[in-house]
Chains A and B, each alone.
Chain A
């Protein structure tokens, strides 16, 4: 694929053939070498061919091949002439990350670390086929779909303040539970309040290094050794089913002929089906917010029980990294509403945006980038330039470079556990094979991903976090 170097870490796929706009890749030479191994660039080019796409089809530094859209893809569409595509959001709608801070230092918890992790493992259901603690009625489920984390807080899971520190304040107002199929609801009933499996995890972390004192202080991150908790999960089977249902419905209604990949299927944003998907997707987003809200509550409970208090365990923020949203952006010199798709990409708004809670409006939005299991994670802050560069978006994690199959062939879960233990990191999982599949060597170097984000200006470094206890689904 022909790539033109624009400047350091920025590469363009020039507009050609059916492309309506160019594609722009944010990657160092090293990350680009990985990206070239799979279909990421072809997929970014395919996205650039969709009707109503604005400015560019963007590729984030952690990008890898998806289906239809690349993972790490950002694309914004005109509301009148553009489309909405379930494949541009991904199957795990509102897969995202929540970060809690605390007043504890690593040395305060060292002796109780094993116990903390074991208790969290007991309280937070995880793994494939593992149901939640409560059997919901359909009526309650629909309430959760309409109200997201608000429902959870009203029902005793966490604090009102958590909502302010959640993207969309924990609830997308456009959600319509009646836009979901019975199958989606049926999958949602047993799984609320569960972590799931695959790359989803819960980590007790400590701050290794603060890289931007001012922003860190605004986010309640004070210095090295401070204990944090990171929760990475999504909307579970309910969200997967919403994506599956609407891919089918849109294919049947608008056809798939002429699409280079059937997963690029889409509907005009203003069409009945396009709007219905947006309302269903929003409901799945709310389910995921409620899910992370409940898990965060249980984590605080465990800290309180094991350590005597959940000292200062405030929420830093909660971000979505698989979502489509209507947002205002400047294109061609004027401010317009666009439907921004972020698939494996995190919103990264700079200071002043109305979407950011007041407490953070002067600093910018916290951006949470989870690393792979047992490696570093990062806290970043959104920038004003990112709006120009990527519709206010940056990376979402490390991004895989090795297949699960290959990882299983090369690694043993028990071996990984022992290696982590030697580095002072506890690990709990429902499956050793699952641990092997998620070996950190199967992922890109997250340090390199965030370095590019920082240098290009997509999101700036605030703190480097390292795990002390890992729970994998």
Chain B
């Protein structure tokens, strides 16, 4: 079912680990060179920058080719005709993606990924145009077929090509399903959460068979996404399209939901973070730990709106002190263990990838962050003119 053989992907993984270990000095140069020759894969890969650029230019080429087809061969086609051609483009793009892998052996090369993404986009556009545009007689509930088809094809691409972001796309398509089934907001939240929970059960069952192999990382990311999705579906203060406006204006109206449902979700948003964190720590799963930390912070941030309590300007300060305190305590606690290790965890850096991420993060986030440190004054005190983020790095106010 998967386009790439297990041995090819295991070989690529081994090669990456070898590079990392050699960089950290766990292998000598001679050992690395010898082992590198034993881990040659027939798959064609590239680095992340070329991958992104190849993805970009494939999107441009395919999009322009489709538009050119309509301009040259079809003048003013009906929606249905356009839809049929979109569906044909979807099939062509998917076939091209398969060919790029089977013939050219491309692996995370940008080109085959963009073709697969285009096939999903064309499929949705085609179904929408062919089935639902200009046909008011079709019952509205059938419109769920468009996101359903998008979700199914995205899941298939995730399974076939191993692209984790295709799974994320499927999760986003699922968000649009219940809107056509029911008008009840509570039911919509519940349906999305049930979909994600079903996926979670399936993924958790499958991933236990892939401990320490090449699929583990992919399944770990998918499980973390599903936990995050369930959390966002049940956190009624976060799962809204006009989230930012609501947060600044005030809390989301609890009367929009049945009281038992509202308070049940409040209990759940406090229950989920420890569950995700403990599962992540027990499995030593980086994605799950990150998901657990994110949902814990989101729970702290959304608790006051949930309860209808007023927000204070010093709330972020308290959150910052809490986060720093937790990080400081964990580091000290781990460092005091024998060899800096406790229960199989350490605060020391063991991989070159961590250093790379830190360097990239500090270069990118360093100048960006000050823009957020001095928000504009609130409307309650109009006389106060202080603020605006014009100091220090914050003064880099996009003049260039």
Whether chain B is bound by chain A comes out as no
Residues in A lying within 8 Å of B, measured CB to CB: none
Residues in B lying within 8 Å of A, measured CB to CB: none
